[in-house]
Amino acid sequence: MFFSRIALFCFLIPIFFVSCTKDNRQESDTSNAVVNLESENLDQALFACKTVKDVQNFLDKHPYLAKEYFAGSQLDPAQLAAHLFNILQNPDFLAFRDQLNRLIGDRKTNILDPLAEAFKQIKYHYPAFNAPKVQFMITGFTGTDLYISDSLIIIGLDYFGGPEAMYRPDVFDYQLRRFRKEYIVPSIVFFESNRFNKMDPTDKTLLADMVGYGKGFAFVKQVMPTTPDSLITGYSAENLRRTYASQHDIWAYFIAGKLLYESVDLKKKKFIEERPFTTEIGQKVPGAIARWVGWRIVNRFRAENPQVTLPELMEMGNAAQILQDSGYNGDPDEEE
C-alpha cells in the first residue's frame, strides 16, 4: 500500500469551506449498488464493564484491539485492562464521554450514512469492493484516532470532539484544529484509496510521492464530489486561496531546486510531511505543499484525459508519465 494503514490522518478545519478544484465528472448512479455497512458501538460494551475482569473479558472477546488499536499506546498488554478500567471510573472522563456524544451527534446520520454513500460510489467503480465493518470507541486517547484495514474500521471518537471538547488529543497546536467530526469520512475514504492506488515501488522520488497523494485526493473527490477541498487536502480556506494563487511560484521553486526527482528522505520530508508552513519556500506556504501540488498535477492530467476512468487512473503507477501527460506547469486552470 502507498500509505500507512494506521495513522493519525485527519485534516485541518477551516472557519468556512471552499472548493478551488472543479471536476466535471458527475457522481455515479449508485441506485443499484448494494452496500451492507455493519457497525457496532464498541464503546458501549466497554463502558458496561464493572470490574477489571470485565474489561479483560471484553479485550479477550476482541483480541485485535490490544494487537492493533492499542498498539501505539506503549502499555504493557498485561496492564491494559486495569488502565482502561481506571479511565472508566474517572468522573471527568465520564463527563467527557457525555459531551462527546452531544458533539458528535447521531452516529448514523453524521458518520455512517455518508460513509455508506461513499462506499456505494466505490462499489460502482469496483464491484468486488466489500465495505469494512465500522466500530466506535472512546478510550481517553488510549487508542488511535482511526484504525483502518480491509475488513475493519475503528473510529476513536475521543479525537474528534473539536474545539469545544473538554479534552483534545496531545498533538501540536497547528494540528488541533483538524480533529473534528467533519474529517472522519473523507479521511476514511482517502485510506480506502490505498487498496487501489498503484505506484511503482521502485520509484522513490518526491514526484512519485506527490502523484500518489494526488491520486488519493482525486479518489476522494470522485467518490465524494460535494466534499469541500478543505476537507480533502487539509488546508484552511485561506491557505487554499493563497496557495492556488501562488502555485506558479511554488512550482517554479520545485523546478529550480530540481526537487521532483529528489530521492533523499530527509529532503523529501520537508515538502511532503505535515508542518505549520514550508519555510524553504516561505512562511505563507502551508506544510505538505508537495501533496497539494501532486493533486494539481493529477487534476490537470484528468482534465487533459477525460476518457481515463477512476480505476484506470488508480492503476497508473508511472508518476513521470502522468506529469508529462498533464502538461502542468504551475498555471491555474482556465475555468477556475
Closest listed residue to residue 211, CA positions, set 226, 193, 228, 225? 193
pLDDT at 13: 28
Mean pLDDT of the chain: 89
Torsions phi, psi of 116, nearest 5? -65, -40
Q: pLDDT tens, 25-48?
A: 555 666 667 889 999 999 999 999
Q: Region 264-272: what's the mean pLDDT?
A: 96
E strand or H helix at 147: strand 146-148
Pick the more confident residue, 25 or 261: 261
For residue 277, what is its C-alpha cell?
Answer: 508552513
Is residue 106 classed as helix, strand or coil in its secondary structure? Answer: coil
Rounded CA separation 175/283 (Å): 17
Rounded CA separation 127/151 (Å): 16
Instruction: Give 3-state DSSP helix, strand, coil % of the chain, rounded to 5.
Output: 50, 5, 45
Confidence of residue 6 (pLDDT cuts 50, 70, 90): very low
Neighbours of 80 (CB within 10 A): 19
Q: pLDDT tens, 97-118?
A: 999 999 999 999 999 999 999 9
Closest listed residue to residue 328, CA positions, set 26, 25, 21, 27? 21
Q: pLDDT tens, 301-310?
A: 999 999 999 9
Q: pLDDT tens, 160-217?
A: 999 899 999 888 877 777 788 999 999 999 999 999 999 999 999 999 999 999 999 9
Rounded CA separation 151/153 (Å): 7
189: left (phi over 0), alpha (psi -120 to 50) or beta: alpha
pLDDT value at 279 more than 80: yes
Rounded CA separation 308/198 (Å): 15
pLDDT at 334: 63
